[in-house]
Amino acid sequence: MKIFLDSAILSEIEESYASGIVDGVTTNPSLMKKAVEELKRSGENVSLESYIKKILLAAKGTPVSLEVTSTEYGDMVKEGKTLYRKFNVVAKNVVIKIPVNSSLENQGSFDGIKAIRALSRAGIPVNCTLIFTPEQALLAAKAGAKFVSPFAGRIDDALREGESFDKSDYYPAIGKGKHDNGVVSGVDLVAQCVRIFKMHGIKSRVLAASIRNARQLREMALAGADIATVPFYVLKDAIKHAKTAEGMRKFTEDIVPEYAVFGGKK
Ligand code: G3P
Residues of the chain with pLDDT under 50: none
For residue 73, the model assigns a pLDDT of 98
**Helices of type H across 21-160:** 29-41, 48-58, 73-91, 111-121, 134-142, 152-159
The residue whose C-alpha atom lies closest to atom 9 belonging to ligand 1 is 210
125 lines ligand 1 (CB under 6 A): no
User: Are 242 and 255 contacting, i.e. CB atoms less than 8 angstroms apart?
Assistant: no
Question: Of the residues 7, 12, 25, 28, which should be mutated to test ligand 1's pocket, given the most ligand atoms within 8 Å of the CB?
Answer: 28
Closest CA to 129 of 146, 109, 142: 146
Nearest CA to ligand 1 atom 6: 210
- Report pLDDT digits (tens) over 42-101: 887 778 999 999 999 999 999 999 999 999 999 999 999 999 999 999 999 999 999 999
160-174 burial, b at 16+ Cβ within 10 Å, e below that, comes to eeeeeeeeeeebebe
Locate the domains of the chain by residue range.
2-240
Residue nearest to atom 2 of ligand 1 (CA): 210
* Fold annotation for 2-240: TIM Barrel (3.20.20)
C-alpha 196 to ligand 1 mean position (Å): 23
Nearest-angstrom CA–CA distance, 135 and 75:
25
**Pocket flag, ligand 1, residue 99 (CB < 6 Å):** no
In angstroms, the CA 74 to CA 102 distance is 12
Distance 263 CA to ligand 1 centre (A): 44
Q: Whose CA is nearest to atom 4 of ligand 1?
A: 210
Catalytic residue among 97, 178, 198, 266: 97
Phi-psi region of 177 (alpha: psi -120 to 50; beta: other; left: phi over 0): left
Residue 78: active-site member: no
The helix or strand, by DSSP H or E, that contains position 10, with its residue range, turns out to be helix 10-18
* Reported pTM: 0.96
pLDDT (0 to 100) of residue 45: 78
Maximum C-alpha span of the chain: 72
Atom of ligand 1 nearest to the CA of 30: 4
Confirm or reject: Cβ of 212 under 6 Å from ligand 1: yes
Please name the residue whose Cα sits nearest to atom 3 of ligand 1. Answer: 210
Q: 153 CB under 6 A from ligand 1?
A: yes
For residue 229, the CA-to-ligand 1 centroid distance in Å is 9
Residue 29 identity: P
